[in-house]
Structure 1
């Protein structure tokens, strides 16, 4: 059974319950973020980069440490193109299944892989998206204690099960709104279609007047909105 119809409902339930995570940006600004999980992939990610370059838009990538180690040149290329980099764990194990020590090791190993591939400070990569979107209050508390920023989502078209390119595009266009954070995948599951999906989505979203920004910009915009309204 595909879960895509339930993700918007889940978002509406979880977002107010966990306000210290980033779920979306400022609802008053016509900015959105394209985010890609499970990479980098030596074939699918370069194909995606060609599309992003064509439209000169920034994206955000949440990487698996194991994939970075397998495709360091691809990782370095993504970083050098100016895209935002985050952590997705070392090997896609769900965070609630890990002990506190294992979780910290998974994040640190991923930071080190990124540091080696991209030649940047490991501690500069602080955004974390839990694999499968699974977390517990304890996981979030640990991430906060370790000074990571927890990043979630607001539009999840379930592209990893490959329901069809048209279906994925339609789901995104139906759900997108100001501040949306869209989750797609450029890894082994779903990455086969990601370049074509992105190539179809981007011009339509630009035509609707949306501006593409990174997760870091969404953080800044969300914090500004919160400080003005509470």
Structure 2
């Protein structure tokens, strides 16, 4: 039984989608970041960067327990553990890595800033709203180009899709009209139709 420490954010939903997709047994431990639960010493022992998600797998490498934080690292670990949703070798493996890193380095952080300034900032900052909304639209255009003619981001369904989808699902917070990106829109519909994606998106 894997312990999942998470909250209802896109980064958290990446991992619950993956756990559902791989049919792994897991127990959910909600970390209420609105109540600063991420600073609890017990959680910091697992996630020293005080960010969700994190996991503890009692059946890790060599049968020993392992704890992991950072959503990308967790996705790679679970893919290697199960042999699913990540090619084991060859150029296809590195293609998945590059789109996973694209999400972690750009599509997540910049869209997160768009969320903050469009929805949560205590005062409207026009410069910041324009900067991050414009960058969100640029990143959506990159994704739309990659998905054109493809069913999934790297042709086959992989952890890259699981990483990107929960962020794309909050398009309204980003000032994005998803209908303007037809390839992404079609991909989102397909992802939403997957039962394990729907279950993962409901966690916690």
TM-score by length of 1: 0.30
Higher helix residue share: 2
TM-score by length of 2: 0.33
